[in-house]
Structure 1
Amino acid sequence: MSCLHLHEAGWLTPYALHACYAGLAESLSEDDTPWLISARADRGHIALGASQYADAELNLAYCRMRRIPIVQRPLGGGTVWVDRRQLCLFFIFPRTSAPASHAALFDLCLGLLKDAYARIGVEVERVGGQDLWHAGRKLLGSGAATIGRSMVFGASILERFDAASFAACVDCPSRGFERWLGDCLSESVTDLEAAGMLPYEGAFEEALRAVCGSRWAVTTQRPEAHRLAAMSAAELALREPLEMGGRRLVRGGIKIKRGTYLLEDTTGPWLRLLWRDGRLVRAASGDKDFDAVLQACLACPLDDGIIYEQGRLHGLSLESARTLAQRVEALCAGLEPQECASRTA
């Protein structure tokens, strides 16, 4: 049986948390043993995805005022809130032992986490490529990257998700958008406490170790001196000034969970849309006529020119109906349609 080294890193500062897996991955040769790191952040912070820009995604003035650290993590995906009530887990596979692709990496690691949840009595289902849901709400999201000669998978076990702190850090174009964001997070994301299944301290770690033990010989190990040095170097790099000046990862809004986006356009009479799997499930506008059209389109597939047609039926001029349709289509362009139809057990 092959080996898996387990590093229980304990409580770490936000920068040290993300440097821990990044530095360890950089230090590994392609023939080294895989690692699993477990750690907790000693304070709440924002972790930006690798391709995001802080000034496009966040309310920087608020973050500075509250002294909330912002870390540009090496892993992909969107903005996440990380704090003391989350157990952070990172699998690191050097090239020789790594799965054949990032898709295979997600298959392996999410399968292990799903089995660990089952051991503590929590039923989850995999939705899309990177999420685990419980009772129709997102319980876990994950990200991955190739760092050095290793593939890295990361996820957080949400014991309690502080939706309010996260929402306050997001760059919201309006107070209405911020209110809707809070509503969306409450409806779409859950945690072990909300599910009434918060286990005793260390229970998930025990469950995951048992699951991993059926596949590898798991040995607890502290990284050697040169690997600790690589972590320190990675932390220095993460503390460099954040790159600014780009655009949002999601044009006009934010991804709430797989298949669900909150969007707003303020270039004319404001439009605010909650988009789920190719349909509007909530919508509003500062223009009462536009608003009436949007209400008529709720729960209908956004195809075949429905916005334009409803605009004409509600008495909008040809130009106004076309303008509304174009603005909605521009906001929703590029979103992933019907993604929740492809669930894997």
Structure 2
Amino acid sequence: MRRSGVPWWGALPDMMLKSGTPHALRVARSVLPPVAALVLALGTLSGCSHPSDPARPPTAVEHRATATETVDLRQRVTDFTDRITQAGTYRVPAERDRRAVADGVRVLLGGDRAGALRALSKAGYTVRTLVDRVGARQVAEVADATADGEARRGWGRVYVDLRGPARWQVQVPHPTADQRTEQLGVGLLRGTPGGVMVLAGAHRNAAGDAADVAHRRDSVFAAVSDALADRGLPALQVHGFADSSLPGQDVVVSTGKGDAALPSARRLAGALRARELRACEVWERYCGPLEGRTNVEGDHAAAADVPFLHVEHSRRVRMDDGLVAQAVGALTEVVGEWSARRP
């Protein structure tokens, strides 16, 4: 995918740095209700669960909050991504750390909060419970246990909607570089039960290309995304492109290397057109260097025969709140179908 990153406050060149004022994140231990939407943002992962009730199905995470924080989820995620810059640091995680976070998320979704905390703590991660002011939804945040660790390592976060069992995932691999793509993820998480959001924690250009988690297998982002795919969760990976990269198009819809998501891709293209957004359909025509054929998460999904959609959004769409809402509405038609499916 081609990068674009024009800050919302002006017509600055693509890929300009954004900066925010770092601030300490609260570390609050908590327990979670049934896990429905897990938003995985890989620089600040947070989520929570509680030892499972034997009478409950293994896909439901019981959550009794001992300490919760009421937040505006959109603002919390925006504050996080505003601190991500090209000048930021990133450390390639060791295999044991990737495994620990992925195992923690997997165990959390299986209903064992205590086991999830044990696994996550091996990598310096924890889980927190948040209540979103919009809709009063409980969300699990899986993240680095300390603000300092998050800033130094840049491994990202995971957010889990707790309205029910996890059914689908949205991946945000290039925050800041692909300006405001995290807003698409938050919109989906708020609107459709059963979602898990995986959010990268560093700029794609940090540490050379080491932080480009869409094209590196050795990341926490890929490890978590793959673990979710192994559970059968279909994925929607959101990106952004400069308007000049594909003039006359608003969105590029691709199924990556596989074709398991082709019915969903066609539905998405139709939903976009119904909202007067111009969609380039990769299975119908050449869409330039924006087709998402080389993303490692898509490779894994194809091998697992799990639906994967790679969706690029123009700067014109991403910088306009109204068009973002239209794009989220179209994407929601797809994840809504995924959410309604039963294992």
Give the TM-score normalised by structure 2. Answer: 0.28
Give the TM-score normalised by structure 1. Answer: 0.28
Which protein has the larger Cα radius of gyration, Structure 1 or Structure 2?
1
